[in-house]
Amino acid sequence: MVTLFSPIREFFRKGDLILLSLCLMASGFGLVLIYSATRYEGGIKAVLVQVIGICLGVIAYMLLTFVDFQLFTEKNWKLLLGLSIILILLLLTPLGKSVGGNRNWLALDRIIPGFPMNLQPNEIVKLPFILLLALQITKIQDRGHDISSIPSVIQIGGFTVFMLGLIAAVCGDMGMCVIYSMIFVSMAWVSGVKLRWFVLVGGGITLALVILWLFILPETHFWTDYRIMRFRVVFDHDLDPLGKGFQQSRSILAIGSGRLFGQGYLKGIQTQASNDDALPARSTDFIFSVCGEEFGLVGCVLLLLLLSLIVLRCVWVSRHASSPFSAYVCMGMAGMLLAQVAFNVGMCLYVLPVMGLTLPFISYGGSSIITLFAAMGIVSSVKAKALPSWLRDRGQV
């Protein structure tokens, strides 16, 4: 007999409860850090917004567990592509809002006065991007074509370049372009694209950047452009310590002052300060520095271990997927998380430039946390439809 609680029981029977538990633990850790990072403001608005985002994210996780995304993507790929393009182009309308030099946000409070969240299309579009790229790869392979052939690489690479160009032109968000690129690399690699392509393209990009850096940029005003300066200060920390290097200088100082066990929760000097010398963007881009200052090296290691377990769970689900499409989707999600964690931590440690990338499940952001739980809900749907062990073993004979 079907009852109101039947879908919930079905979720607990088939859904990936381990992945959900890991995501909730990471989000809980994030709430602890967000409260500390925003305590100087004298309110708990950020914590409440994040809690609402987590609750909505859990609902999305549960609902998406029951969706057959391979069938959905095959039937609605035009819709997914169209909505992705429209979402990004909406940033060019009066709803678009620039923060930190990038036009990344849709200000929903301009439609609904007092609405507590803004929408970040680039975060949302990552999910259809992964689904569409996985569909492209599987269609090429289903037709019996070599995924490493020139036409195949041009096809999957062309779609990726189109999305990167659209984001760069509309938003100017190079950090997000890097994440999309890493998603492509992870999915292309596991699908069988040969190493020579990565060496060829990576080497070409590196050579172009070196030529640009040494011979072209010094002759133009772009040499002092704020984006270029963000790269230059990474190689020379003394170049602009009070300007483009200020954020990362404060960040590495906060992490170093935490030492092994930290200064104590709610006792971090820079985290709790409200003057000009306080840690910047402490609830978003530099929340890892908050962890380092108040919980020390031990806290940072535990945080990274928790996020690593989420990535590894995505990889585990990928290896047990019932179809290549599902496996590629899970690896895309894993690549997305791994790249964002690596670049955010590298930014906080002053070994990578500031790119406006938040720490998954930890940083403050309503649309970000909902999108992350939705992404993991897609992984859960793959786990719910995984092949039984006896069938996997038989297929390997």
CA distance 11 to 376: 14
**Chain centroid offset of residue 165 CA:** 18
pLDDT tens digits, residue range 262-275? 999 999 999 998 87
- Decide if 321 contacts 307 (C-beta within 8 A): no
In the prediction, which pLDDT does 1 show? Answer: 47
- Residue predicted with more confidence, 236 or 97: 97
pTM: 0.91
Q: At what angle do helices 366-384 and 287-319 cross, to 10 degrees?
A: 20
The residue-averaged pLDDT of 236-260 equals 82
Collapsed DSSP state (helix, strand, coil) of residue 143? coil
The residue-averaged pLDDT of 104-121 equals 80
- Decide if 307 contacts 361 (C-beta within 8 A): yes
pLDDT tens digits, residue range 31-87? 999 999 999 888 898 999 999 999 999 999 999 999 999 999 999 999 999 999 999
In the prediction, which pLDDT does 378 show? Answer: 97
- Decide if 134 contacts 187 (C-beta within 8 A): yes
CA distance 358 to 50: 14
Residue 256 has pLDDT above 70, yes or no: yes
Provide long-range contacts, Cβ within 8 A and 24+ apart, for 68-75: 68/381, 68/385, 69/131, 69/326, 69/329, 69/378, 69/381, 69/382, 70/135, 70/323, 70/325, 70/326, 73/131, 73/132, 73/134, 73/135, 73/325, 74/135
Residue 7 has pLDDT above 80, yes or no: no
- The DSSP H or E segment spanning 312 is helix 287-319
Could you tell me what percentage of the chain is helix, strand and coil, using 3-state DSSP and rounding each to the nearest 5?
70, 5, 25
Q: 109-113, 138-142, 278-282, 339-343: which has the minimum mean pLDDT?
A: 109-113
In the prediction, which pLDDT does 186 show? Answer: 95
Q: Bridge partners of 103?
A: 98
In the prediction, which pLDDT does 103 show? Answer: 82
Residue 374 has pLDDT above 90, yes or no: yes
In the prediction, which pLDDT does 395 show? Answer: 40
In the prediction, which pLDDT does 388 show? Answer: 53
Other CB atoms within 10 Å distance of the CB of residue 261:
12
In the prediction, which pLDDT does 396 show? Answer: 40
Residue 143 has pLDDT above 80, yes or no: yes
In the prediction, which pLDDT does 397 show? Answer: 31
